[in-house]
Amino acid sequence: MSRRYGIIGWPVEHSLSPAMHNAAFAALKIDACYDRYPVSPDDLPEQVSVFRESLSGWNVTVPHKQAIIPLIDVVDPVAEAAHSVNTVVNRDGLLYGYSTDGYGLQLAVEEAFGIDIKGKHVLFVGAGGAVQAAAVQFAEAGALAISVVNRTVEKAEAVVARVSKIAPDVEVKVFPLNDLPADMSSIDIIIQGTSVELKEGRELSFDFSGFKRECVCMDMIYNRKTPFLNKAGKHGMRIAGGEDMLLYQGAKSFELWTEQNAPVAVMRQALT
Ligand code: ATR
Nearest CA to ligand 1 atom 27: 196
Instruction: State residue 78's pLDDT score.
Output: 95
Candidate from 195, 196, 204, 245 with most ligand 1 atoms within 8 A of CB, to mutate: 195
- Determine the atom of ligand 1 nearest the C-alpha atom of 151: 19
Q: Answer for the pair 243, 264: CB distance below 8 angstroms, yes or no.
A: no
* pLDDT given for residue 223 in this prediction: 85
Task: Please indicate whether residue 261, judged by its CB atom, sits closer than 6 Å to ligand 1.
Answer: no
Among 229, 236, 202, 246, smallest CA distance to 125 is for: 229
Q: What is the pLDDT along the chain (272 residues), one digit of tens a residue?
A: 799 999 999 999 999 999 999 999 999 999 999 999 999 999 999 999 999 999 999 999 999 999 999 999 999 999 999 999 999 999 999 999 999 999 999 999 999 999 999 999 999 999 999 999 999 999 999 999 999 999 999 999 999 999 999 999 999 999 999 999 999 999 999 999 999 999 999 999 999 999 999 999 999 999 899 999 999 999 999 999 999 999 999 999 999 999 999 999 999 999 98
DSSP per-residue codes, 169-205: TSEEEEEETT---S--TT--EEEE--SGGGSTT----
Beta bridge partners of 5: 34, 57
Atom of ligand 1 nearest to the CA of 152: 19
Residue 151: how many CB atoms within 10 A of its CB?
A: 15
